[in-house]
Amino acid sequence: MDGWTLVHSDGQTFGAELVKSQLEAVGINAIVLNKRDSSYGMFGPVEVYVPTPDAGRAQAHLAGGEGPA
């Protein structure tokens, strides 16, 4: 995905959606990409991506810091 950077990978959809909500609450656009197996639904990650220019700020926020303004 050109222009997007992975900032979080989760085993559950709700965990990824929670991270997406946290990022959007601080003004960072985020998308969830579900890579789970469609047949069984229990194998594979659910990933959260942000625009590449926002990746540093998103990672800092997820780590508990504020990140660059």
Over its length of 69 residues, how does the chain's per-residue pLDDT go in tens digits? Answer: 789 999 999 988 899 999 999 999 999 999 999 887 666 656 789 999 999 999 999 999 999 865 554
Residue 50 has a pLDDT of 98
Residue 1 has a pLDDT of 73
Q: At a CB cut-off of 8 Å and minimum separation 6, what does 42 contact? A: 36
Residue 69 has a pLDDT of 46
The tokens of 30 are what? 């985020």
Would you say 7 and 48 are in contact if contact means Cβ atoms under 8 Å apart?
Answer: yes
Residue 67 has a pLDDT of 52
Query: How far apart are the C-alpha atoms of 39 and 4, rounded to whole Å?
Result: 27
Query: How far apart are the C-alpha atoms of 3 and 39, rounded to whole Å?
Result: 30
Residue ranges of domains in the chain, CATH in brackets: 4-62 (3.30.70.1530)
Secondary structure of the chain: what % helix, strand, coil (to 5)?
Answer: 35, 25, 40
Residue 12 has a pLDDT of 86
